[in-house]
Amino acid sequence: MNKRHLMQALCWLFASVGAFSPAQAQTYPTKPVRLIVPFPAGGATDLFARTLSQKLSEKMGTTLVVENRPGAGGTLGSDLVAKAQADGYTLLLATSSTHSIGPNLNPRMPYDAVKDFTPISQVGNAPSIMLVPNSSPAKTIKEWIDYAKKNPGRLNYASSGNGTIVQLTAELFKAQAELFVVHIPYKGTALAIPDLVSGKVDVLFDSLPTGLPHVRDGRLRALGVTTLKPTALAPGVPPIADVLPGYESNTWFGLFGPKGLPADVVSRVNTAANQVLQDPEVIDKLQRFGIEPVGGTPVQFGNMLAKESAKWKKTITERKITLD
């Protein structure tokens, strides 16, 4: 074989090896994917993750293993993902608490909610419902606002604790309606319900799954929902935004990877998530949890994150909200 033929043979050999190298022949994913839930098993985020995981596994062609890593209000699990290898095999199902509210309440967070993560897809929104006792003189949102303005400092609202979405939702309402209403923190909204029913508490912005049953049972009155538009999750209950234009408060759920996640991996997971969120079975289950499926592009998710963070930062700063 002369020199020219030898060079041609070597070129063909190298091209063949390159064409079938493991890195190029295999496409993501080639092994199980961990989906980190930074909250305890049995909670809303965990139920959401398990609802998505089976269908996502089918769409992605691999197994999604839901792994609960609770602690520090979702910080521990989120930090684990922030420091994971950016290969698509460790993902995070995060919420408003870990990426919109927490970073604005706690300057010592171990991660940067923007720089240390790659947004993949917003997957859901969980709105709240404005509840008052049956003994309340207000039958509508406007009537309650008028009633509160006539009684500054004499009415109160319950929350599930300082710095929670429940408190922030109420404070945002107070700010937009220009009200003086006293905050009474509880260790969870379930503990506040008896006092709300008896009239010791004047208002509570609760999640739909825990609040609506009391309305259906006739124990409480629903005045409004925290969505911009009417929602099928609470038929017949008007949006607060009808009275306070632009008012909106949701607990959002979203998929993230560590920073530097390859674009093809982001696209693969995003496409699968959007397909799953259109599945009637998934939609039905999420609605029973009080969650609206969302979907969309990574860019749309990133824009939503920026808007939410700015909104809650403004509320936390102006209302002087702390974790203490």
101-151 confidence digits (pLDDT tens): 999 999 899 999 999 999 999 999 999 999 999 999 999 999 999 999 999
Nearest residue to 254 via CA among 313, 310, 295 = 295
| Integer CA distances (angstroms), 268 to 44, 61, 298, in order | 25, 11, 11
Does a structural domain hold residue 5? no
Q: Is residue 85, in this structure, part of any structural domain at all?
A: yes
pLDDT at position 63 is 96
- What total number of domains does the chain contain? 2
Percent pLDDT > 90 in the chain is: 90
CA within 13 Å, CB half, 312: 28
Place of tokens 């003189």: 137
Last residue of a domain, one of 242, 265, 283: 242
How confident is the model at residue 116, as a pLDDT?
Answer: 98
**183 burial class (0-12, 13-18, 19+ CB within 10 angstroms)?**
middle
169: Cβ contacts below 8 Å, ≥ 6 apart: 128, 205, 226, 249
- pLDDT for 26 beyond 80: no
Structural domain boundaries, residue 192:
127-242
Residue 198 located in a structural domain: yes
pLDDT number for residue 133: 98
Query: Domain for residue 102, yes or no?
Result: yes
Residue 217 has pLDDT above 70, yes or no: yes
For residues 141 and 127, give the distance between their C-alpha atoms in angstroms, rounded to a whole number.
Answer: 16
Query: Is the pLDDT assigned to residue 15 strictly greater than 90?
Result: no
**Residue 109 shares a structural domain with residue 173:** no
Taking the model in full, what pTM does it have? 0.89
pLDDT score of 324: 82
- Is it the case that residue 25 has pLDDT exceeding 50? no
Tell me: do 98 and 46 sit in the same domain.
Answer: yes
Same domain, residue pair 92 and 143: no
Judgement on whether residues 89 and 185 belong to the same structural domain of the protein? no
- Residues 235, 255 within the same domain: no
Sole residue written with tokens 């693969």: 268
